[in-house]
Homo-oligomer: A and B are copies of this chain.
Amino acid sequence: MKALLLVAHGSRRAASNEEVRNLTGQLSGLDHEYDRVDCAFLELAEPSIPDGLRCAIASGADEIVVLPYFLSAGRHVTADIPAEVDTVRQEHPEVVIRVAPYLGDSTSIPGLLLEQASRKTG
């Protein structure tokens, strides 16, 4: 069973965390290869990354892709997220957990930004 875990920073502002949960719901509804899609937060919101991974594993996931919802390759992306993932890798060596490239690294970002720039709002 394959799972996708969207990992965001987490915010003191509840509405920002809710944006991530809504996005996760949208992802779940799309056509893809994952049996479940969940979100987790590095800090300031629940579930934590280890808890998000454990929950997917408890529900039967044996392959999990962790997707960092971050725009830049700072310490959170290069060190903190991998460290949290490693904790669960050690607990569950039988589960394959892969960390995907962070959002900002996508080559589709420039085109998407031009699309946003032409949207009328604000």
Interface residues of A (CB under 8 A from B): 4, 6, 8, 11, 13, 15-16, 19-20, 23, 26-27, 30, 32, 65, 67, 69, 71-75, 82, 98-106, 108-122
| Contact across chains for A99 and B122 when beta carbons are under 8 A apart | yes
In the complex, A111→B27 CA distance in Å? 8
In the complex, A82→B15 CA distance in Å? 19
Which chain B residues border A109 with CB–CB below 8 Å? 23, 112
In the complex, A71→B110 CA distance in Å? 15
| Contact across chains for A16 and B114 when beta carbons are under 8 A apart | no
In the complex, A108→B119 CA distance in Å? 12
| Contact across chains for B65 and A117 when beta carbons are under 8 A apart | yes
